[in-house]
Structure 1
């Protein structure tokens, strides 16, 4: 698929992710208009013709300075509804506010859907509400933040079902104030878009998640209780902000258009039967096994976050376009029209792109002249009022508060095992400063770019100081850029804050300071209920005492990432724990088994810190309901389960180090708040052997082999250079020549990543040994012990490593 880029216009900064819409065709128009809402509260309608984009209207609906959070189109007509704060404004085709009502919600709206008969569905940070003629029809609050909203077609009784995406990695089907069904997802579902299939299948929805996964589900709204069924899900990288569907390929099958936070615009071709999807770099096992999957059809980078995306006929009749809005307010079009072809009938032989550029240039000159006239008129008035012959004002670059806002994301890439700090502003940045007291690493710092490596972005000049005491780094783009992505490696057990200063390329320089929290278990990713966890020997630590559920939740928040801001609904987590899923995922998947008590040794004796013992009673069925969270380590694939309620917190894992970190953090938090807490732990004797064999062995073998091969390749190259001054190795044995010519032998980035991963795995083994000995009450400060462990890791053998741990525990 070939699409040609064209920059249509620029509005104010846009942070909302559903604030651009393409209006339906007018009665006599062959083109569609574009409407967009920005952070300053303006709703702007644009029309484009032959390269000239003009504003039909620009209306400020937010008197209080609130940003436009979402736009929605009426199912019939061309009324645009804008959500700002707690208010909904309806704009007619001329931009006049023809309708306005205050929702009386307790929090500002984030998502908005418009229906027939003055019906609206809205969501705030933690609430969902439905209105009809300004009267509340439905309401529900959630423990986790609401991230997306869509509405299924009505059933035979005229009842709608709302699909509410939550930060807790699930999509809920809500009807009449009740949750009828829940579907777990890999990551928070940040976008939901209805898909109209040619076969007339009702209530198909495409969803995208914060971790980059893309999926298709069907909502059955005809049953007494709504049901959600996953059709497929494909994993990917780069959080998804927005999704649109449109038949760009003209095969009567809608294509899926995806806008990602890292600046990628993608178009996927969907099979007619909707059986699956796969991008060119998909690693989904389920996707690869499905027959006849289509590949990624189109991909472009726009160098900053894509906030909204739509499709329609905007500039040229007969040609479809993908229209998107970026964080800084750039409206960009990707048209199916070949803009590099000569314009038919043009006597000068110009291409369509040349005509578009000339049209935009003429429009800009006209706008500049109008602005200059306004400036001259205002200056004349000021001179008359002041009585002076000259006015001198301090130059500040014309920057307002909205433009100085910084959008930040600190996302863990689970398949790569490191974090990406993404920073973006509406104006170019000239400097980024990082400072932290934590021993964190900048990965591939010499290749850091203004967006992401390999995307044609500018390189950056980096000055850094890394040590065990902390990090100080300065990033200077060779040219000002609006988005910066920095890859950061963290160490579990080390927690604190990363301080960030972002300086705008203004005169004088203006900047903002930000903080990023690094959690103690920062490399753990939240997932669904973990399949077959009853086969894993889990050790545990538990805390009991007279503390509240909210205190327990705060302790969990201080320890783990991606914990909901408020306490999850206990009934929801209990239902989610027993819900089954059709997704095939080796890392995180649902289980239809009873997961209320996965402890295999409910009668085991536990060693307490003072050397005593206590009986571990787990959390029996007759106890009050518990909140449950499930995690998996992105580095070693170990599992971690957290269950807590008022007066009890229990953490289970097959990683003794994870338990040790959780014990240390929660104990420190309880002491800081002077809470009376009793702590007990149970380290099962089979946990460590299981962890060494099933979590570490394969990875240590793989990355040790890569590191050894790298050393051998370097030695062979040196021998070849010393022998004949070249590196062809004609005199070497065939197996050595093949090693030099093997793919990846010269891939410096791959080898560097392998060395860093091997170093991290060695650190995991060393920490594991220390933690095991500490739980056993032994002193591990002897340098001879650590030297012996290092020798075993350098010449790795699973049996030697197991013998070493067994000898230390003897």
Structure 2
């Protein structure tokens, strides 16, 4: 670490959304800047820090939730105009708090993201993109994917106005005059866009849901260029990005805010792909970061990273040393007159707050009793920030739950077979319900959280078979006691994810269904089977979607239109599950369908060869882990004993992390690979109309324990070998 920053806590506001914190420019480059922050209670406030005290300049009354905040100004002037988006309206304020603009966009969706560039206004709802100039509509675009962010800039060479929207379906689209001119495919779902300005050049960066930062080549319409930051250690989603010269060497650093509460500062060179980025500073937190901005805030002449969390905590990471009054020789602090006055002031404020709290509690007790009769009391709905995302590396789901107050306990219920795995950051105590008291194949577990825990991560391992739902009952530390219910859909093919291209050299089997179903009906059926399906089908004659399995890397091609749907896959189990689910849905609707199945025998050989490297690798990992555990039991870790070991065992002790970490993070991975082959064997025979006995499945299991490719093929196709 080459950068030293100290944390300074400033104030607390309401629950915040992404892009709801900005800094206003100051007249002097080294003077502190004013802070603009907006929250979900509809309050916009501007304040500054002077001698560690908050000086409030203006504050609006509560109203509709503010979903986006931007600062802008006329080209060539300071960006000191404040714009907020709430509902489908945009309001403009001066830095002194005067309301000068109330603009009704006329959008049918609430505004989720906004960008202001001079007199150009770009607004995005969930699916609608709109472009306004001087509050006049210049055009709109209806996107099939969910839009998560929007930015705009003028091209360096052509000076043309260009905007970009990031979509959940792993796409970033370039628009001019509200028309898509270029679509860029990226490997992971983008979460945030950022314009990296250095001298006269502009580079578009984007953060992803798995914690990476990529570079886009928009000028030459080349799409995705390369990964700028590929952090394998932290896969938490990136929620905000800023660029600023924190080191003072003349080149901008990249500052990232993550969903797990970490703030990271990187050295980057966006022009040289061989000059890799490296981490300069990291600040670990417990609440997700919604916005970060860099500038001079707390003290004149000292650069600072200002951040706000989901619950509304605003703090800074400053280059100013905060331990100047610390005496290293005595290990104590030397309090100045100003410090003593601040401490006494804080003590008085705490006593005042405690007095107000006692009065409010007495008032509450009095209000809930009327002539000895208890009356009901209620609290407003609790806001819970939640995500349910697939980790492609481990083929598991990560459920993140965050509340603005401390969480007491969480009850997890699922009507399907789901396993809960250990998470390193999770300190909650989990207890499972007695399996005899619950329905077989279901999950019922309770997490009892530690004190002051307002964010928790849960890791789940799903199995592809039927669609299911996961329910989370979140109970915060509030009185009266209440709980918030969140429900997450688990798709029938939950371990698949959307891709944009695939290898066409694979052997494919085909499943075709024809019937009197509409395009909307078949689109709904497919969305119940597969994740990341757009909410609306494409406007073209037929919709084509590609998917890949995160567990065994098989491919699924989905082509559908009104009255007809076709699936192609190199995994027969995938087609079997689709056939079962779609048949049930058609039966519920009383729709007659014709089913045609074309089985390619080469899919069996192909899939076993596809799984074989992973299977052998994890078998070796487990054998090495057993040997390592045995060596530890014999206490041969001391240097005197290690020298008597063979080179094989010494190497094993030196490379323990290579197999201990994967076994700890995904302990049941080998069993899942075995289940994939066993299910393939069952479904292959069912499609052939062959009934299997239990001894046949045991033969497959024995062959997997003592793996042999030829023996497996002989079991699958005994008459062809």
Normalization by structure 2: what TM-score? 0.89
User: Are residue 567 (structure 1) and residue 550 (structure 2) matched?
Assistant: no
Identify if the C-alpha distance between structure 1 residues 158 and 716 changes in structure 2 by more than 3 Å, giving closer, same or farther: closer
Q: Provide the residue aligned with 1:588 in structure 2.
A: none
Partner of 1:486: 458
Contact preservation (8 Å) 1:707, 1:754: no
1:520·1:661 contact (CA, 8 Å) conserved in 2?
Answer: yes
Aligned-residue offset at 1:465: 3.7
Structure 1 residues 116 and 343, CA gap change in structure 2 (3 angstroms):
farther
Alignment of 1:637-648 (within 5 A): 637-648=553-564
Please name the residue that 2:205 is paired with.
Answer: 206
Deviates more, 1:682-691 or 1:233-242: 233-242
Identify the residue that residue 196 of structure 1 maps to in structure 2. 197
- SS in structure 2 opposite 1:696? helix
Match of 1:99 in 2: 101
Q: C-alpha separation between the residues in 1 aligned to 2:334 and 2:505?
A: 66
For the residues of structure 1 that align with 2:522 and 2:15, how far apart are their CA atoms? 39
- Taking the TM superposition and a 5 Å limit, the aligned residue runs for 1:165-184 are 165-184=166-185
Distance 1:70 1:429 in 2: 27
Contact 1:493 1:520 in 2 (8 A): yes
Give the superposition deviation at 1:659. Answer: 1.3
1:711 counterpart = 2:626: yes
Distance 1:164 1:462, change over 3 A: same
Which residue is equivalent to 1:791?
Answer: 702
Does the alignment pair 1:807 with 2:718? yes
Q: How far off its partner does 1:733 sit?
A: 4.8
Q: 1:344-382: CA deviations, max 9, x gaps?
A: 9xxx995799988984883584487489689979999x9
Instruction: Please name the residue that 1:697 is paired with.
Output: 612
Deviations 1:425-464, CA, capped at 9 Å, x for gaps = 11110100111221110112xxx4xxxx25xx6x221111
Q: What CA RMSD, in Å, does the superposition of the two structures yield over aligned residues?
A: 3.4
Aligned to 1:766: 678
Q: Which moved more, 1:481-490 or 1:183-192?
A: 183-192
Contact 1:703 1:754 in 2 (8 A): no
Partner of 2:221: 227
Contact 1:52 1:356 (C-alpha < 8 Å) held by counterparts: no
SS class of match (1:112): strand
Residue 394 of structure 1 deviates from its aligned partner by: 8.5
493, 498, 501: which one pairs with 1:529? 501
- Judged with a 3 Å threshold, the aligned counterparts in structure 2 of structure 1 residues 395 and 547 are, in CA distance, closer, same or farther, namely closer
The one of 419, 422, 428 equivalent to 1:460 is 428
Correspondence 1:497-508 to 2 at 5 A: 497-508=469-480
1:528, distance to aligned residue in structure 2 (A)? 2.1
2:421 is aligned to 443
Distance 1:486 1:376 in 2: 39
Superposed, 1:292-307 pairs within 5 Å as 292-307=275-290
State the Cα deviation string for residues 681-713 of structure 1 (Å, max 9, x = none). 2221111101111x2010110011112223334
1:558 positional shift: 0.4
* CA distance 1:528–1:88, shift in 2 (3 Å): same
Query: In structure 2, do the counterparts of structure 1 residues 717 and 378 end up closer, same or farther at CA, with 3 Å as the change threshold?
Result: closer
Return the offset for 1:61. Answer: 6.3
Question: What SS does structure 1 have at the residue aligned with 2:69?
Answer: strand
Equivalent of residue 71 in structure 2, options 58, 70, 73:
73
Write the distance in 2 (CA, Å) between the matches of 1:509 and 1:323: 35
Q: Indicate conservation of the 8 Å contact 2:621/2:659, yes or no.
A: no
Tell me the equivalent position of 1:604: none
Q: Whole-Å Cα distance in 1 between the matches of residues 504 and 560 of structure 2?
A: 19
Q: Give the one of 302, 318, 322 matched to 1:335.
A: 318
Q: CA separation in 2, counterparts of 1:557 and 1:793? A: 34
- Sort the Cα spacing of 1:211 and 1:793 in 2 relative to 1 into closer, same or farther, 3 A: same
* Partner residue of 2:487 out of 515, 518, 527: 515
CA distance in 2, matches of 1:795, 1:567: 47
Shift of 1:647: 2.1
Q: Residues 14-34 of structure 1, C-alpha deviation per residue, up to 9 Å, x if partnerless?
A: 1x2111111111469810111
Distance 1:127 1:733 in 2: 67
Counting only pairs closer than 5 Å after superposition, residues 251-290 of structure 1 correspond to structure 2 as 251-271=249-269, 273-276=270-273
* 1: CA distance, partners of 2:360 / 2:392: 58
Write the distance in 2 (CA, Å) between the matches of 1:466 and 1:144.
42
Report if the CA contact (8 A) 1:44-1:57 is conserved.
Answer: yes
Match of residue 510, structure 2, among 498, 516, 540? 540
Identify which range, 552-561 or 650-659, moves more after superposition.
650-659
Q: What corresponds to 2:654 in structure 1? A: 742
Structure-2 separation of matches of 1:361 and 1:188:
50
CA distance in 2, matches of 1:772, 1:809: 15
Partner of 2:23: 22
Structure 2 match to 1:287: none
- Residue 679 of structure 2 aligns to a residue whose secondary structure is helix
For residues 623-634 of structure 1, what are the structure 2 equivalents within 5 Å? Answer: 624=541, 626-634=542-550
Q: Deviations over 1:24-68 (max 9, x none)?
A: 114698101111111111112231233323432221363xxx211
1:209 to partner: Cα distance: 1.9
| Alignment-derived partner of residue 33 in structure 1 | 34
SS, match of residue 60 in structure 2: strand
2: distance between equivalents of 1:787 and 1:343?
70
User: Does the Cα contact within 8 Å between 1:553 and 1:567 map onto a contact in 2?
Assistant: yes
Taking the aligned partners of 1:49 and 1:647, their CA distance within structure 2 comes to 68
Cα distance in 2 between the residues matched to 1:51 and 1:516: 44
Maintained 8 Å contact 2:114/2:122: yes
The answer to whether the 8 Å contact 1:657/1:767 transfers is yes
Q: Which runs of 5+ in 1 are unaligned?
A: 221-225, 277-290, 571-623
Match of 2:578 in 1: 662
Equivalent-residue separation in structure 2 for 1:126 and 1:361 (angstroms): 53
1:713 and 1:744 mapped to 2: Cα distance?
Answer: 7
1:245, 1:316 → 2: CA distance? 20
The answer to whether the 8 Å contact 2:191/2:206 transfers is yes
SS at match of 1:689: helix
Question: Helix, strand or coil for the counterpart of 1:699?
Answer: helix
3-state SS of paired residue (1:534): coil
Question: Deviations for 1:282-333, whole angstroms, at most 9, x for unmatched residues?
Answer: xxxxxxxxx2212122222211111111111111112211111111111121
Change (3 A) 1:9 1:546: same
d(CA) in 2 for partners of 1:727, 1:353: 54
Residues 511, 749 of structure 1: alpha-carbon distance in 2 compared, 3 angstrom cutoff: same
CA offsets, 1:514-540, max 9 Å, x none?
A: 11111111111222222xx22111212
Q: Structure 1 CA distance, aligned partners of 2:11 and 2:695?
A: 67
Q: By how many angstroms is 1:98 displaced?
A: 2.4
- Where 1:426 maps in the other structure, the secondary structure is coil
Q: Residues 121 and 352 of structure 1: is their aligned pair in 2 closer, same or farther, counting only changes over 3 Å? A: farther
Superposition deviation, residue 343 in structure 1: 8.3
Aligned pairs for 1:353-392 (under 5 A) are 359=342, 362=345, 365-366=348-349, 369=352
Equivalent residue, structure 2, for 1:90: 92
Question: Could you give the per-residue CA deviations for residues 636-662 of structure 1, whole angstroms, max 9, x where no partner exists?
Answer: 111122122222212221111111111
Q: Distance in 1 between matches of 2:563 and 2:656?
A: 54
Query: Matched residues in 2 for 1:566 and 1:121: separation?
Result: 23
Residues 759, 727 of structure 1: CA spacing in aligned structure 2 closer, same or farther, 3 A cutoff?
A: farther
Bigger Cα displacement from structure 2, 545-554 vs 328-337? 545-554
Match of 1:776 in 2: 688
**1:551 matched residue in structure 2:** 521
Query: Which residue number corresponds to residue 216 of structure 1?
Result: 215
Cα shift at 1:739: 5.5
